[in-house]
């Protein structure tokens, strides 16, 4: 098994550099605009994606790169490749724009559609989450594992709301209602990547959401599986970052959670 050591090193150093850029640039100049109703973007999302793309292309010029703000990058190489970097320069842009210090840089690296490396950097807490397939997940060098909580009633969950999709929005509201009553509590942190990292770290038992994009989950879903958790779609099928729904849990409460989530759809 190749361990993608160079790719992981690159993702870690680029994520750190990008995270420092994000904080510095916010203090220097912040320009907020709307991509769509409820979908905020800033000048810093764009300049950070440019920085990440430049650094990854310098290190791996033949690889494909896909980012939230600029989509698929043009490649110089004529060769086709199954190596792709999937990046979110700021996951949690709404928090970032409003000065809530809950956002991160997320970088996933995949080969033939399978994530091999996932790195998430939270510049406000200086926490670097890093995972490689088959090699576990670490936060600032310390190994992580999902929690051992084995009942929904004693779990703390996290979710997000798909505002562009009325049906999935209604499902989420109904699920939120049921699970607020049936668990220890639910959080809405505003960053899907950090939601996954926190499940991997055993801070939260589960995360579910509809309507996410590949860059939101590319790094995070690998972290949850590498920490010993389970990731499927909400319908219970195998998860891919192209899927419309995600349920990422510590594994122990997976079945119980899916039963409640599916009961409203």
- Active-site residue 68, yes or no? yes
User: For residues 31 and 120, what is the distance between their CA atoms, to the nearest angstrom?
Assistant: 24
Residues whose CB is less than 8 angstroms from the CB of residue 247 and which lie 6 or more positions away in sequence, other chains included:
206, 207, 208, 231, 232, 233, 234, 254, 257, 258, 261
Does the active-site annotation cover 91?
yes
Task: Choose the stretch contacting ligand IPD; rule: CB under 6 A; options: 54-62, 112-120, 124-132, 209-217.
Answer: 209-217
# residues near ligand IPD by CB under 6 A: 12
Angle of helix 166-182 versus helix 254-263 axis, rounded to 10: 130
Cα–Cα separations (whole angstroms), residue 92 to 73, 98, 135, 160, 188: 22, 10, 27, 11, 11
Q: Judged by CB under 6 A, does residue 122 bind ligand IPD? A: no
Marked catalytic residue, from 93, 115, 183, 225: 93
Residues 5-64 that bind ligand IPD (CB under 6 A): none
Minimal distance in Å, beta carbon 212 to ligand IPD?
6
Is 115 an active-site residue? no
3-state secondary structure of 217: helix
Q: Binding to ligand IPD by residue 67, rule CB under 6 A?
A: no
Q: According to the binding rule CB under 6 A, does residue 108 interact with ligand IPD? A: no
Confirm or reject binding of residue 91 to ligand IPD (CB under 6 A). Answer: yes
Q: Is 191 in the site for ligand IPD (CB under 6 A)?
A: yes
Q: Examine residue 120 and tell whether it contacts ligand IPD (CB under 6 A).
A: no
Active site residue 93: yes
Burial of residue 223, with CB atoms counted within 10 A of its CB: 0-12 exposed, 13-18 middle, 19 or more buried: buried
CB of 97 to ligand IPD, least distance (A): 9
Tokens of 159: 């979710």
- CB within 8 A of 41, min separation 6: which ones? 32, 33, 34, 35, 69, 93
Q: Write out 138-162 in H/E/C secondary structure.
A: EECCEECCCCCCCCHHHCEEEECCC
Among 212, 223, 224, 234, binds ligand IPD (CB under 6 A): 212
Q: Is 160 in the site for ligand IPD (CB under 6 A)?
A: yes
Whether residue 242 lies in the annotated active site: no
Rounded least distance, CB 163 to ligand IPD, Å: 8
Under the rule (CB under 6 A), what is the footprint of ligand IPD? Answer: 68, 88, 91-93, 160, 190-192, 209, 212, 216
Catalytic (active-site) positions = 68, 88, 90-91, 93, 216
């Amino acid at each position: 098994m190749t361990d993608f050591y160079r790719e992981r090193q690159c993702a870690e150093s680029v994520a750190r550099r990008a995270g420092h850029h994000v904080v510095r640039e916010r203090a220097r100049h912040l320009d907020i605009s709307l991509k769509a109703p409820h979908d905020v973007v800033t000048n810093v999302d764009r300049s950070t994606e440019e920085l990440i793309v430049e650094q990854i292309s310098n290190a791996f010029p033949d690889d494909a790169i896909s980012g939230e703000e600029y989509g698929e990058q043009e490649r110089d190489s004529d060769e086709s490749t199954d190596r792709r970097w999937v990046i979110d320069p700021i996951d949690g842009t709404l928090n970032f724009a409003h000065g809530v210090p809950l956002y991160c840089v997320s970088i996933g690296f995949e080969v033939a559609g399978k994530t091999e490396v996932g790195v998430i950097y939270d510049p406000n807490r200086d926490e670097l989450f890093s995972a490689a397939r088959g090699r576990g997940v670490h936060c600032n060098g310390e190994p992580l594992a999902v929690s051992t909580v084995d009942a929904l009633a004693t779990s703390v969950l996290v979710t997000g709301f798909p505002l562009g999709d009325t049906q999935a929005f209604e499902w989420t509201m109904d699920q939120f209602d049921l699970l607020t009553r049936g668990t220890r509590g639910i959080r809405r942190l505003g960053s899907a990547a950090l939601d996954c990292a926190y499940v991997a770290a055993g801070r939260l038992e589960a995360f579910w959401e509809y309507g996410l994009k590949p860059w939101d989950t590319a790094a995070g879903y690998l972290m949850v599986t590498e920490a010993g958790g389970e990731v499927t779609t909400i319908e219970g099928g195998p998860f891919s970052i192209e899927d419309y729904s995600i349920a990422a849990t510590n594994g122990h409460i997976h079945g119980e959670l899916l039963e409640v989530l599916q009961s409203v759809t």
